[in-house]
Structure 1
């Protein structure tokens, strides 16, 4: 048996033991610089993902649109569970997540949001399930992960107003993202350029954590890398090669 084949088998066994095997389909971002850091080349659909901005409103807004862009590229209705409805729906529409696809669940508390998420995840064929919460226990995250695995529906826990220095909590989420607003490109005319975000993949099972500067979602939920960064290695890769 070739050494490369043995290594591939060992990687698969380790991934299975650690719960890192990618079950079902994945949702690629369509950017090689991002997808190669994710197991299977994209976000696992039947899995739980964690997302946060910060306690700065602009960062939470950026994280919301980032999430809307991901969901815009799925098929089927999306359940968005939150304590009360303070979401600016037109912003989701601009990222490609149209109003006719979103069903809002006003649950009133974190406990009820997590309960609603778990109930929604019992049904297959959904585009995704989102839950906005302040805190997420390890037990709750495991229940959501198991529910997502059974239905094959992607689940997203959005940690609203999470400070940058907040200690990392134990979670069964397959990926954890942090999205922050970033200065846009300076134009020579009095106008606004495409929004830019600092997107950090803080944790990923079976992949690599990383940080990118990205152009915000277009009307179909697609992201892009700034033109000046496309053809050169980013800072992290340059440091690793040094």
Structure 2
């Protein structure tokens, strides 16, 4: 066998082993927010790796949708490795993702013309096992599809984020349908944090944990993701001790 061919085979085997070892290490692990009030509501103390999670904006408009996208960007920015981002609309603003900690050199974009192709790319990316996270912008997510995605994430140990984006207000009703996602979040825009001088303070969101498998539903007022992808508990929430503990019906 030629020396170059032998090296290529060895290199491929090393890549496969690295993917398998990485998947094994991440199974059962979690990605904490680093905020006790939030992590204590999640089984294991954080977002489960090797699992599917859902995030949507608190309204059907672009402002709430952008907040949800930045929330997702901050989460996946704190994973290790490349991030696969699957979408149908080329309107993602990369500089905003970078401000949330997700730099362009880490992101691989997959643009598809149909949502079915986005879901297929989402599942394939989760099964690959060599990525830090996979994000898919989708409108609908059925129970059978979400089960396949959850199983794919479990098999590889990869974090899967289903970012629900609505084209029309009527589509938002689909978010109430049950899925196999481990957690379900709704992100709404709140007035920015006040400053002692004229200006615009740090953006604030209402993060509703609508569903957490084997966990509790809750809501939190948080400061938007910083340059390292981390959120903060809003000072206004700190003044209201019942805020993080408020529960509501799971979706």
After TM superposition, the score normalised by the length of structure 1 is: 0.85
Once residues 146 and 239 of structure 2 are traced to their aligned partners in structure 1, the CA distance between those partners, rounded to angstroms, is: 38
* TM-score, structure 2 normalization: 0.82
Aligned length: 219
Any idea what the Cα deviations from partners look like across 1:120-156, whole Å, max 9, x if unmatched? Answer: 1122231100111111111110110000000000101
For residues 53-91 of structure 1, the C-alpha deviation after alignment (integer angstroms, 9 at most, x for no partner) is 021211111111111000110000000000132101111
Q: 1:229 to 1:110 in 2, by over 3 A?
A: same
Q: 1:23 to 1:207 in 2, by over 3 A?
A: farther
Report how far residue 97 of structure 1 moved.
0.4
Counterparts of residues 102-181 of structure 1 (less than 5 Å) = 102-161=107-166, 163=169, 166-167=173-174, 168-181=176-189
Does the 8 Å CA contact 2:237/2:244 hold for their aligned counterparts? no
What is the aligned partner in structure 2 of residue 184 from structure 1?
192
| 1:98 paired residue among 103, 110, 114 | 103
Q: How does 1:22-37 map to 2 (within 5 A)?
A: 23-37=27-41
Post-superposition shift, 1:234? 2.4
Q: Which residue of 1 aligns with 2:228?
A: 220
Structure 1 residue 236: Cα displacement: 6.2
Report if the CA contact (8 A) 2:53-2:183 is conserved. Answer: yes
**Equivalent in 204, 208, 228 of residue 212 of structure 2:** 204
1:45 maps onto 2:49 in alignment: yes
Unaligned runs of 5+ in 1: 1-21
SS of aligned partner of 1:105: strand
Question: How far off is 1:238 after superposition?
Answer: 7.2
| Residue deviations 1:21-62 (CA, integer Å, cap 9, x gap) | x95210000000000000000000000001100212111111
Structure 2 stretches lacking a partner, 5+ long: 1-25
Structure 1 CA distance for aligned equivalents of residues 157 and 107 of structure 2: 18
Q: CA deviation at 1:173?
A: 0.4
Q: Deviations over 1:179-201 (max 9, x none)?
A: 01101123242211000001000
Aligned with 1:130: secondary structure?
Answer: strand
